[in-house]
Structure 1
Amino acid sequence: MQIDGHTRLVGIIAAPVAHVRTPQLFNASVARQGLNAACVPFHVEPAQLPAFLAGVAGAQNFDGLVVTIPHKEAVVAACGALTETARLVGSVNAMRFDRAQGHWLGGNFDGDGFVAGLRERGHRLAGKRVLQLGAGGAGKSMAYAIAREQPAELVIHNRSAAKAAELAASLQAILPALTIRAGDGDPAGFDVVVNATALGLRDTDALPLPAARLGAGTLVCEAVVRDGDTPLLKAAREQGCAVHHGQWMLYGQIVEIARFLGVGLEAAFVERILGPAA
């Protein structure tokens, strides 16, 4: 990779930022594809966020930002416009400065990245019974993206039942022809099970569902990104289930965000860098 006066820049903001994987993945992928672009990490503390956004908006070769913890909700107020998903879930994980309008446009691609990762592996959600575990920030975006794929039924389970019911009701209002409801988290009878919680980052984490209730052949999907199987995916394999790793959601997000920011990054180049998710 060679950075010159024509290089298009993308940033990622977080606090802290040392743990993020996006710059490595993005930069290796664009270099392999032959694109003149680069992703730069920025450690931005919450108190400095307004000043940072105001300053970086003035760089004409700056195409936008990837946004992660703790800024996903805070940047909403800085955006003059939001995509439909970002408006629905109340959080932003990518933003670009619209110079014609003079404001930031914010988008949320957690859900789009998840669905793109499924498609990349040949999985379809249309006509399937889907159980999603988790109704937090990423979970809201994922549930909306899943619902847009026209499943036969989408059931949302969350530790706080009221939060699951609220999300289901908001999606049902937008997509009234679908069957969307809150549920108890029993995976029996579902074609697809999606873990949108943080459970699985550590081997000592509890399972987000009773694994013994998983049916053989069910597709069990993770949003958690880590090397190898999470405890849930390991248990799912033991039940005869197909599994789908969280890396595919990460790959999908990178491609979807790059498209939003105007960088034509192809999925095949993203996968080749880190290798396929197991």
Structure 2
Amino acid sequence: MAAAFHSGDTSDLPAIPAGTAISGRTRLFAVLGDPVAQVMAPAMMNRLFAESRVDAVMIPVEVFSSDLAVVVGGLKRIANLDGILVTVPHKLAACSQADRLSHAARLAGSVNALRREADGMWSGDNFDGEGFVRGLLRAGRAVAGKRFALVGAGGAGVSIAVAVLQAGASALSIVDTDPPRAVALAGRLAAHWPGRAQAAEILDPASDVVVNATPLGLRADDPLPFGLDGLPQHAVIADIIMKPAETRLLREAAARGLGTHPGLPMLSEQIPLYREFFRIP
């Protein structure tokens, strides 16, 4: 079994079971991002491989946006590489690297997982949204009938938008620093959920759940992705940033007495989905 090295802090994760060294038979998986120092998928996936006694290893690969197509093209040519995970900021661009897309990925226009098929083609899917919704539900937070505000219509945000509407959210307002991108997303969603999604310039003051789906919060000196003034006291502030576990946004929301929901559950709830997608026994 492959033993994986991960430079991030995984002190809160169970230890990876001991196994044999990486061999010539080890299957490869990669997670692509820029940056990648914060990614926790290698720790979780390598633990899954170990516990499942699968001879495989996932490694982090830092890729600049300008190099994404070249890097993915090269990875696809590695015969013993079976899958790729995709993180910030490549999820939208990586969609074009898939030969086949799931319904959710096609609707979102974004992928966070690519799988090599037996015929050599590559299938793409996006589990961010389903992982996010599962995380909320596991924490006892309702989705159906709630008003959501989404800040950030990037690769993860589009998947979350699709998932919360599929789960029965009554309304979704979308705010993005690139307003046409928010308008385009709202238009795609309106074809499936008429009257429930709209682009907005500011947060809906009646929001029950506000989601930060931007990268703001990865760095200690990042500004808040949005202001908290005017939100109802019952509102829940959700962040998809996983490291740090408690972002400045979540700290300030908690200090105001608002409910908070951290980013890590979105990933941990995706592990069973990755297991099925990558056909891990």
Alignment of 1:223 with 2:240, yes or no, is yes
Alignment of 1:121 with 2:121, yes or no, is no
Percentage of pairs with the same residue: 33
Output the CA distance in 2 between the equivalents of 1:18 and 1:226: 11
Match of 2:44 among 25, 29, 51: 25
Tell me by how many angstroms 1:128 deviates.
Answer: 0.4
Tell me by how many angstroms 1:70 deviates.
Answer: 6.2
Match of 2:73 among 30, 40, 50: 50
Structure 2 CA distance for partners of 1:51 and 1:44, relative to 1, 3 Å = farther
Deviation track 1:27-82 (CA, whole Å, cap 9, x = no partner) reads 22443x444353321648633432320233xx4xx542223456545544442211
Match of 1:154 in 2: 172
Alignment of 1:109 with 2:132, yes or no, is no
Match of 2:111 in 1: 92
Q: Secondary structure at 2:84's aligned position in 1? A: strand
Match of 1:267 in 2: none
Deviation track 1:85-142 (CA, whole Å, cap 9, x = no partner) reads 222333322111221x441111112212211221222222100011111111211111
Q: Secondary structure at 1:14's aligned position in 2? A: strand
Deviation track 1:228-266 (CA, whole Å, cap 9, x = no partner) reads 4212111211221111001111212333222211126xx
Structure 2 CA distance for partners of 1:120 and 1:234, relative to 1, 3 Å = same
5+ residue gaps, structure 2, are 1-17
Structure 2 CA distance for partners of 1:9 and 1:117, relative to 1, 3 Å = farther
Q: Secondary structure at 2:205's aligned position in 1? A: coil
- Report which stretch shifted further, 21-30 or 213-222: 21-30
Q: Is the 8 A contact 1:12 1:68 kept in 2?
A: no
Output the CA distance in 1 between the equivalents of 2:201 and 2:92: 28
Higher share in helix: 1
Structure 2 CA distance for partners of 1:187 and 1:39, relative to 1, 3 Å = farther
Name the aligned partner's letter for residue 30 of structure 2: I
Q: Is the 8 A contact 1:236 1:243 kept in 2?
A: yes
**1:180-259 to 2 correspondences below 5 Å:** 180-259=197-276
RMSD (Å), alpha carbons: 2.7
Q: Is the 8 A contact 1:116 1:249 kept in 2?
A: yes
Q: Secondary structure at 1:259's aligned position in 2? A: helix
Match of 1:41 in 2: 59
Output the CA distance in 1 between the equivalents of 2:200 and 2:192: 19
- Report which stretch shifted further, 222-231 or 151-160: 222-231
5+ residue gaps, structure 1, are 265-278
Match of 1:275 in 2: none
Q: Secondary structure at 2:217's aligned position in 1? A: coil
- Report which stretch shifted further, 120-129 or 33-42: 33-42
Output the CA distance in 1 between the equivalents of 2:54 and 2:99: 28
Tell me by how many angstroms 1:171 deviates.
Answer: 0.4
Structure 2 length-normalised TM:
0.80
- Report which stretch shifted further, 22-31 or 246-255: 22-31
